[in-house]
């Protein structure tokens, strides 16, 4: 059996989500190996062989060489009146443009926090929301807002 690495591990190492890694693999015509494992409760998982894994690492290191990966992590409350405990955690390079788009749908949207940091750190804020709230959408959560914001401020202090 060849040396295989789970795509979750690869995605974390190269700073991509699993879905974006799968898109990259498809773009580069690299194939994944699907296997069931005991660790996954006999669920089908995707793996990369050692050769493909090293090619992905090389591609990402060449791709990211000399590029500054700054991103905006934002936390907004779409409707404070109707759902005061609902927030959205999002990521963008152009927050002002994103906010204008949101205001066409939610004119009363409230911006709670904006953090500028390295792109690789984005998922940490989403993980805090996932662990402390109830997910109601891809990046939307019902959560104790003040407690969540306090945890995000602490996380930002550590990361910056």
**If residue 49 lies in a helix (H) or strand (E), which one and from where to where?**
strand 44-49
Report angle CA 149, 153, 155 to the nearest 5 degrees. Answer: 115
Percent of the chain residues past pLDDT 70, beyond the cut: 94
Rounded to two decimals, the pTM is 0.58
d(CA 123, CA 126): 5
Between residues 1 and 55, the one the model is more confident about: 55
Query: What is residue 120's DSSP assignment?
Result: G
**If residue 72 lies in a helix (H) or strand (E), which one and from where to where?**
strand 70-77
pLDDT at residue 88, as a whole number: 94
Q: How many CB atoms lie within 10 A of CB 11?
A: 19
Residues contacting residue 7 through CB under 8 Å, at least 6 positions apart: 18, 21, 22, 32, 45, 46, 47, 48
The pLDDT tens digits of the residues spanning 92-131 come to: 888 888 889 899 988 999 999 999 888 778 889 989 999 9
Token digits for 48? 């990369």
Residue 134's closest CA among 97, 85, 90?
85
């Amino acid at each position: 059996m060849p040396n295989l690495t789970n795509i979750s591990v690869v995605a974390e190492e190269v700073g991509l989500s699993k879905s974006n890694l799968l898109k990259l693999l498809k773009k580069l015509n690299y194939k994944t190996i699907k296997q069931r494992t005991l660790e996954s409760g006999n669920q089908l998982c995707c793996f990369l062989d050692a050769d493909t894994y090293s090619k992905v690492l090389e591609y990402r290191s060449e791709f990211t060489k000399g590029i500054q990966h700054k991103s905006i992590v934002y936390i907004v409350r779409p409707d404070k009146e109707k759902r005061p405990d609902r927030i959205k955690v999002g990521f963008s390079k152009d927050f002002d443009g994103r906010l204008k788009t949101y205001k066409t749908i939610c004119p009363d949207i409230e911006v709670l926090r904006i953090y500028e940091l390295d792109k690789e750190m984005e998922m940490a804020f989403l993980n805090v929301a996932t662990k402390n709230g109830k997910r109601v959408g891809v990046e939307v959560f019902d959560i104790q807002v003040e407690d969540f914001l306090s945890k995000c401020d602490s996380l930002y202090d550590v990361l910056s």
